[in-house]
Amino acid sequence: MKRKSILLVLCIGMILTSCESKISLNSPDVKNEKNQKNTTMENPDKGYNLPIDEDKKKEAVNDCEEIMGIIRDIYSEYSGIQEADQNTAEQMMNRMKEIIKQNGNPVIGSDHYSVMDNYQKMEQFLKSAEQEEKGSVILYEADTDGGITRKEYSYDGKEMSVMSAKMIWSEDTEPVLTYISLSKIKEWAYTENGNFCYELCVPKPPEVTEIVDGSCIIRVKPLSEECREYSKKYVSTFGYQGNNLLCSNWNAEDMQGLDYNGLYEYFYQMKYGEKFTAEKEVVGIPAEEFENVIMTYLPVTKEELKEWAVYDEQSNMFIWERLGCGNYSPTHFGLSLPEVTEVKNNEDGTIVLTIHAVCDSVVCNDIVITHELTMKIQDDGTIQYVGNRILDNGIDNIPRYQYRLGNLQN
């Protein structure tokens, strides 16, 4: 999953760098060969930026170049278009996946709900490693920028490591290696839910001044097509930050605690297919527009919205503030990805989604909480959300929700 999107780092001082597939070109793992050699000589026993055998390095680079060669035509077809359109970028990525998977190795996309093709090889490697059997496996990731990431996981009977190589396209459509690195994996597990969770060895203060997060979760065993569709269509927009639709207990008889002013922008995106934008930091949403958006997805009345949301009667507007450092304290839980694991259709026409909050930032937990979101498909095809229930007292294990506007907190 690497949903990350909904994953936003909003305050200085808390930089959450994800694992290999989300490493930026300025991160410690993205270095040219000269700098990398210097680092490995200085830190030979710290578990990161380790020396790479020249034959293994050559093999990795050759593999990447070969893969780039067979997807070149696809990239050329989409070149320039995918940069401006996320849907187009995903189409390109999925077409690349279809080509890459033919070599028999596991391959996954960089989007949050991507299916790992040939996952059986990865699963077998992990299950063998659980039995302390030596082995290795190569995982390819097709990225929305048209490039690829090659990760070779190796287990020597005691320790696991990963060699990662990233290759992108130059302006004249030639493959360019942006980094290659070798790191030990400090801890790892293959969970009952089919997720490969691990933590890389990474630099720590005072060696670095920013937090480097080596945590990573990769879904190996695919969700059902139905669960993926519901995840992407009905819950991915919200996530767990900036609104409390999925991280609070509520139902049709008790909706007072929802953060309607925070929810507006997410429902707006669902309704109009684009993100809500505002030029000013503080914006008033005309009441009719605000009510029309919210009431499309929640069974509330205009009168209830005026009572429960932050509403200015004089201007007949609902207040809206952009999510930022002034009204949001970043948490690891807030960066979690909602993953639908079960869909249940009730006789009364409601649909209950069992959802796991999957967090690959620092805590590396594929079930931070489990909750049940109840919704109903209207006659016109629109969705109304009618309740959310966090199971097993999970609400006690997550940060208290911070309302978008301070005067809503209690």
The answer to the question of residue 386 being in a domain is yes
| pLDDT, average across residues 260-265 | 97
- Between the CA atoms of 245, 251, 254 and 257, what dihedral angle is there, to the nearest 10 degrees? -10
Q: Which residues of 233-369 form beta strands (DSSP E)?
A: 250-251, 282-286, 311-312, 317-321, 337-345, 350-358
**Single residue among 222, 246, 280 that ends a domain in this structure:** 222
pTM of the model as a whole: 0.85
Q: Provide the mean pLDDT of the chain.
A: 87
For residue 344, the model assigns a pLDDT of: 98
pLDDT class of 407 with cuts at 50, 70, 90: low
DSSP secondary structure of 52-109 = --HHHHHHHHHHHHHHHHHHHHHHHHHTTTTTT-HHHHHHHHHHHHHHHGGGSS-EEE
For residue 82, the model assigns a pLDDT of: 66
**Single residue among 199, 222, 245 that ends a domain in this structure:** 222
pLDDT class of 277 with cuts at 50, 70, 90: confident
**Single residue among 169, 191, 222 that ends a domain in this structure:** 222
| pLDDT, average across residues 126-155 | 97
Indicate whether 271 and 179 sit together in one domain.
no
pLDDT surpassing 80 at residue 18: no
Indicate whether 186 and 293 sit together in one domain.
no
Q: How many domains, in total, are found in the chain?
A: 2
Domain residue limits at 368: 226-403
The answer to the question of residue 14 being in a domain is no
Indicate whether 107 and 93 sit together in one domain.
yes
Of 35-39, 181-185, 190-194, where does mean pLDDT reach its minimum?
A: 35-39
* Residues 44, 216, 184: CA angle, nearest 5 degrees: 20
pLDDT surpassing 80 at residue 208: yes
| pLDDT, average across residues 50-55 | 96
For residue 93, the model assigns a pLDDT of: 94
For residue 238, the model assigns a pLDDT of: 97
Strand partners, 338: 357
Indicate whether 35 and 76 sit together in one domain.
yes
| pLDDT, average across residues 183-189 | 96
